[in-house]
């Protein structure tokens, strides 16, 4: 029996490319994926929040899933985000992604504004949600633990899920106090926690690595500048990792606090990767002043996306 692959390292989120009129730019999407592979990433996550997953139709989602998996064609692993409030729909999405060649799935607990006093989703329903997706897809699953959901995923619940549903063994933690939760999760879960990841643009990367993170999910803006930090850290050169982190921190802080998902698109337009940095309504387009400051910071560190297509 073969040993299952353990996924670790840098798995950035691919932005969804749109034309200026808001329609899908499929050739641009292919260029995004090629650029990210040239950035030296270990894998790519598609259809996540930073991919504007809630702003694409079901039909567009199907097109993007197939396009991304077929275009990457096994060059690196692909995580497909399959989040949905409906357990049935999340399971169907997961099964389809697995059939098309996804390496992993990423899903949030069910929420979409429903985790209120009127409709409260309890731990058992959350457990059953992940179990159903795992049963349908039969590939590894990463739980996304993010403030966006408004769902409290306790360490005890995550450990129970990891121990009782072995396919659900990857965890992307991006909450206030991520390092503390990662540390507790690893201490309590032991070998059941196969992939403890951080996220949120790597804004707390060094603390999260110190807590035991084995992977990181950033945007596609500058993963080539994050990758050396991980390599240095994991060979024991913490000082070198810290220098690399300090070098890129101003840029990722600006991304995190001022731009959000717009940052990667803006840099990719400047670098000729895609033709438009359009984001779909009700999101606002990036303000010209914000764009100018973002590009000023990017030019100081010169990520691959800033010149890839020029």
* Catalytic residue list: 172
Instruction: Produce one character per residue of 241-262: b if its CB has 16 or more CB atoms within 10 Å, e if not.
Output: beebbeebeebbebbbebbbbb
**Largest pairwise CA distance in the chain:** 57
CB 15 within 8 A of CB 286: no
Strands 9-10 and 168-173: unpaired
Strand partners, 44: 78
Strands 195-198 and 44-46: unpaired
| Ordered strands of the 195-198 beta sheet | 9-10, 215-216, 195-198, 168-173, 141-145, 104-107, 78-81, 44-46
First-to-last alpha carbon distance for the chain, in angstroms, is 47
């Amino acid at each position: 029996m073969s040993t299952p692959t353990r996924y670790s390292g840098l798995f950035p989120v691919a932005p969804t490319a749109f034309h200026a009129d808001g329609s899908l730019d499929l050739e641009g999407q292919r260029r995004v994926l090629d650029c990210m592979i040239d950035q030296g990433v270990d894998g790519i996550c598609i259809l996540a929040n930073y991919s504007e997953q809630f702003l694409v139709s079901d039909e567009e989602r199907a097109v993007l899933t197939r396009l991304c998996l077929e275009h990457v064609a096994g060059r690196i692993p692909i995580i497909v985000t399959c989040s949905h409030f409906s357990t049935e729909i999340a399971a169907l999405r997961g099964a389809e992604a697995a059939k098309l060649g996804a390496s992993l799935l990423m899903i949030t607990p069910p929420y979409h504004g429903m985790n209120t006093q009127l409709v409260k989703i309890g731990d058992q329903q959350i457990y059953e949600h992940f179990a159903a997706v795992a049963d349908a897809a039969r590939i590894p699953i990463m739980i996304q633990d993010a403030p966006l959901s408004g769902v409290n995923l306790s360490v005890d619940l995550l450990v129970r899920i990891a121990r009782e549903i072995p396919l659900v063994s990857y965890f992307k933690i991006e909450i206030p106090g991520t390092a503390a939760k990662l540390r507790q999760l690893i201490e309590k879960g032991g070998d059941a926690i196969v992939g403890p990841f951080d996220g949120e643009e790597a804004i707390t990367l060094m603390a999260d690595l110190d807590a035991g993170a084995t992977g990181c999910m950033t945007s596609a803006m500058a993963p080539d500048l994050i990758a050396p930090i991980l390599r240095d850290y994991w060979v024991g050169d913490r000082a070198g990792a810290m220098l690399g982190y300090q070098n890129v921190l101003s840029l990722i802080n600006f991304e995190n606090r001022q731009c959000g998902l717009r940052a990667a698109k803006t840099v990719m337009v400047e670098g000729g990767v895609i033709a438009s940095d359009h984001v779909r309504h009700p999101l606002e387009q990036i303000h010209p002043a914000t764009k100018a400051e973002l590009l000023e910071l990017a030019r100081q560190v010169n990520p691959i996306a800033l010149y890839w297509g020029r």
